[in-house]
């Protein structure tokens, strides 16, 4: 049987530091750089730290993780996967009647657009952001962004 997102989030794991970086991903960091592969629970913790009225991007999460672990970068692939796990776990908790969940909707894609892969897609993220007072506007034919998102970024540690 497949693990639920809650089980994946709660599975005990440790962050891993990759140094030296494998040749296939070495271009992601400066020469001699290192990379942290975080955990779903660590991503969840960072997202929970985003206060109402503030936002983050996947890159601000990655920057906070790299600072925390003393590395050049945080893995862009696993950061996105673990953010998805945290968001799906929050949706599962809400389905069970939970009220205080990880505010995944406050995390935008790196360019400030809403993420169609989050629970409920763009429509749900747009609704939750608007409920918190953000102005969500179209950006191109099929994307949306929060007006002035870059001025509303939370400081994550």
Specify if 52 maps to a domain: yes
Specify if 128 maps to a domain: no
Residue 76 tokens read as 């862009």
CA angle 114–119–124, rounded 5-degree value = 60
Q: Which domain holds residue 18?
A: 5-108
Specify if 89 maps to a domain: yes
For 7-102, list the strands marked E by DSSP.
Answer: 16-18, 35-37, 56-57, 73-74
Question: Is the pLDDT assigned to residue 157 strictly greater than 80?
Answer: no
Q: What is the pLDDT of residues 119-142, one digit of tens each?
A: 999 999 999 999 999 999 999 888
Specify if 28 maps to a domain: yes
Residue 59 tokens read as 């890159």
How many domains does the chain divide into? 1
Q: What is the CATH number of the domain that holds 9?
A: 1.10.10
Question: Is the pLDDT assigned to residue 1 strictly greater than 80?
Answer: no
| Percent of the chain whose pLDDT exceeds 90 | 89
Q: What is the pLDDT of residue 2?
A: 84
State the Cα–Cα distance between residues 126 and 129, nearest whole angstrom.
5
Q: What is the pLDDT of residues 35-75, one digit of tens each?
A: 999 999 999 999 999 999 999 999 999 999 999 999 999 99
Specify if 72 maps to a domain: yes
């Amino acid at each position: 049987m497949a693990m639920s997102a809650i089980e994946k989030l709660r599975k005990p794991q440790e962050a891993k530091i990759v140094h030296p970086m494998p040749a296939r991903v070495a271009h992601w960091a400066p020469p001699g750089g290192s990379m942290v592969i975080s955990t779903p629970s660590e991503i969840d913790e960072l997202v929970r730290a985003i206060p109402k009225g503030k936002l983050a991007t996947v890159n601000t999460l990655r920057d906070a993780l790299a600072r925390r672990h003393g590395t050049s970068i945080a893995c862009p692939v696993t950061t996105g996967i673990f953010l998805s796990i945290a968001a799906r776990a929050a949706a599962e908790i809400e389905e069970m009647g939970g009220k205080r969940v990880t505010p995944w909707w406050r995390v935008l894609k790196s360019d400030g657009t809403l993420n169609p892969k989050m629970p409920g897609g763009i429509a749900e993220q747009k609704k939750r952001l608007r409920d918190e007072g953000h102005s969500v506007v179209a950006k191109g034919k099929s994307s949306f962004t929060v007006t002035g998102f870059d001025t509303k970024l939370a400081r994550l540690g």
